[in-house]
């Protein structure tokens, strides 16, 4: 079983406009479709819970952390963001969604500003630009969203290891909408669609991308801690103290 924790700041979710689209909250909707997928066990936590819902024991028992945040990036303590970065470096998967591009854990992990250009309410077509990637499996060459927030280049992130999806918007902009990175032992997949007033997370293609991303980001190797230890040589070194030859 892949143990997934879906974190949501859960602020937009109480507004009537968002409730009409996501009666269970964004986190409840994501947990709902993840739990229908084979081999995935997901639960939701939110910012207002003690320790922001992410105590050490929750993080220790999380294989993949999904993150939705927008208004309250600053409410996430620096110490927690540092802890998440360490967990990713040790092997935990991390999937920041939509406006989580400005979240503290994502920016810490990537080390750049992660800024972009945006505009509300556009038609988006998502093109698969790495069809051989595990996250693209079962997805068509392109699919569209009737309305989604436009995110446009330049997206200030380090060069992704793969751009699995590229978004095109009616205004002419393009965006690297689905990007992969590795940090330490951990895998990161950023996915752009998911504005709170659009029904994006009900879309079967979007759900398939997120399920695939969870499977891809699940740890293949995980370290208990990050240490920088003194190494013993692989074989005996006989010529100890031998002078370095001069040329
Ligand atoms: Zn948005």
- C-alpha 5 to ligand 1 mean position (Å): 21
Nearest to 147 by CA among 166, 128, 118, 170: 170
Whole-angstrom distance, CA of residue 26 vs CA of residue 18: 9
Q: How crowded is the C-beta side of 78, counted as CA atoms within 13 Å?
A: 0
- C-alpha 54 to ligand 1 mean position (Å): 23
Nearest to 110 by CA among 188, 173, 205, 10: 188
Whole-angstrom distance, CA of residue 94 vs CA of residue 198: 23
Nearest to 6 by CA among 128, 130, 93: 93
- C-alpha 124 to ligand 1 mean position (Å): 13
User: 163 vs 138, 189, 235, CA distance in Å?
Assistant: 17, 10, 42
- C-alpha 84 to ligand 1 mean position (Å): 23
> Residues with Cβ < 8 Å from 25, sequence gap 6 or more?
8, 10, 13, 44
Whole-angstrom distance, CA of residue 195 vs CA of residue 84: 24
In 3-state terms, what secondary structure has residue 65? strand
User: 159 vs 100, 128, 154, CA distance in Å?
Assistant: 18, 17, 12
- C-alpha 243 to ligand 1 mean position (Å): 64
- C-alpha 162 to ligand 1 mean position (Å): 23
Per-residue pLDDT of the chain (247 residues; tens, 9 = 90+): 999 999 999 999 999 999 999 999 999 999 999 999 999 999 999 999 999 999 999 999 999 999 999 999 999 999 999 999 999 999 999 999 999 999 999 999 999 999 999 999 899 999 999 999 999 999 999 999 999 999 999 999 999 999 999 999 999 999 999 999 999 999 999 999 999 999 999 999 999 999 999 999 999 989 999 889 898 988 887 766 666 666 6
Query: Buried b vs exposed e over 71-86: b needs ≥16 C-beta within 10 Å?
Result: eebeebeeebbeebbb
Beta strand pairing call for 142-152 and 93-97: unpaired
- C-alpha 154 to ligand 1 mean position (Å): 17
Beta strand pairing call for 64-68 and 2-8: parallel
- C-alpha 146 to ligand 1 mean position (Å): 15
Whole-angstrom distance, CA of residue 199 vs CA of residue 49: 26
Residues with a beta carbon under 5 angstroms from ion ligand 1: 99, 149, 195
Q: What is the pLDDT of residue 60?
A: 97
pTM (predicted TM-score): 0.95
- C-alpha 151 to ligand 1 mean position (Å): 9
Q: What is the pLDDT of residue 237?
A: 77
- C-alpha 119 to ligand 1 mean position (Å): 9
- C-alpha 220 to ligand 1 mean position (Å): 32
> Residues with Cβ < 8 Å from 12, sequence gap 6 or more?
18, 26, 70, 71, 196
Q: What is the pLDDT of residue 238?
A: 73
- C-alpha 171 to ligand 1 mean position (Å): 17
- C-alpha 98 to ligand 1 mean position (Å): 6
């Amino acid at each position: 079983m892949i143990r997934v924790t879906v974190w949501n700041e859960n602020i937009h979710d109480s507004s009537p406009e968002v409730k009409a689209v996501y009666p269970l909250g964004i986190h409840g909707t994501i947990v709902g479709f993840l739990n229908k997928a084979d081999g995935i066990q997901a639960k939701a936590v939110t910012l207002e819970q003690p320790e922001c819902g992410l105590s050490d024991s929750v993080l220790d028992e999380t294989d993949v952390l999904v993150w939705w945040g927008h208004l309250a990036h600053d409410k996430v303590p620096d110490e927690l963001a540092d802890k998440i970065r360490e967990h990713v470096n040790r092997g935990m998967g991390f999937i920041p969604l939509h406006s989580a591009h400005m979240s503290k854990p994502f920016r810490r992990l990537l080390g750049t500003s992660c800024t972009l250009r945006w505009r509300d309410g556009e038609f988006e077509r998502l093109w698969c630009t790495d069809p051989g990637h595990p996250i693209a499996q079962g997805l068509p060459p392109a699919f569209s969203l009737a309305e989604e927030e436009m995110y446009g280049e330049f997206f200030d992130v380090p060069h992704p290891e793969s751009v699995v999806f590229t978004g095109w918007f009616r205004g002419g902009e393009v965006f690297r909408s689905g990007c992969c990175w590795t940090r330490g032992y951990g895998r990161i997949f950023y996915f752009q669609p998911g504005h709170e007033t659009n029904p994006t997370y009900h879309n079967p293609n979007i759900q398939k991308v997120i399920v695939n991303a969870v499977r891809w980001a699940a740890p293949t190797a995980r370290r208990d801690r990050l240490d920088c230890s003194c190494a013993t040589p692989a074989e005996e070194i006989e010529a100890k103290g031998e002078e370095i030859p001069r040329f």
